Amino acid sequence: MIEPALRGFALGFSLIVAIGAQNAFILERGLVRNHVFVLSLVCALSDALLIAAGVAGLGTLISAHPTMIMVVTLGGVVFLAAYALIALRRALKPGTMAVRGERQMSLKAALGTVLALTFLNPHVYLDTVVLLGSLSARYETTEARLAYGGGAMLASFVWFFALGYGARLLAPLFANPKAWRILDGLIAAVMATLSLTLLASVI
């Protein structure tokens, strides 16, 4: 069962490392050390849930009902655009001093944001449920498919906790408010690009 687990880990890791909405948010929360453990755990568990659904065959159902993806896509377009505007405002507003204390979020707000960034992003479903799920079907035994899915889940746990807690290594750089303004600008660009990409996919 080692081979399918390693393949699942490698593919899961390659899909999740790409710059995206989840990663940008976890990086920001890690830099300000705000609910890092809970948010990293929620992201990893969300991915694990979707991967399990994909391995169980939900990918086939989603592929057969494109309306489901369209509804999620439109919700993601609106949410990501709003988040991009918030980040852009922080980057451009001269009076915004991006010190750690001013960027704290309540646990409720942080959880709401990270869940929206996860489940309103159709790419999450396409990567975890459809792609990872469909590729697991090449394994004939249930044990091999479970090992494959387990490897992909492990990749999510490793990545999100490494990103969340590793972000503090950059803390000295972000002692300068200019670094925060650059990060906010990058976050705004990522979110806006994702929003426009999603919108283009349904037009």
Query: Residue 30: which pLDDT band, with cuts at 50, 70 and 90?
Result: very high
**Domain span holding position 169:** 2-202
What's the pLDDT tens digit per position in 132-160?
877 777 777 888 888 989 999 999 999 99
1-5, 98-102, 139-143: least confident range: 98-102
Q: Which of 184, 24, 28, 187 is nearest to 96 (CA)?
A: 184
DSSP string, 86-115: HHHHHHH-TT----GGGG---HHHHHHHHH
Average model confidence (pLDDT) for the chain?
Answer: 82
**Lowest pLDDT segment from 1-5, 26-30, 144-148, 157-161:** 1-5
pLDDT at position 44 over 90: yes
pLDDT tens, residue by residue, 51-72: 998 888 766 666 666 776 677 6
The residues, any chain, with a CB within 8 Å of residue 132's CB and separated by 6 or more, are 8, 11, 12, 15, 51, 54, 55, 149, 152
Give the pLDDT of residue 122.
Answer: 76
Domain count for the chain: 1
Instruction: Note the pLDDT of residue 59.
Output: 61
CA 75 to chain centre: 16
Q: Is the pLDDT of residue 97 over 50?
A: no
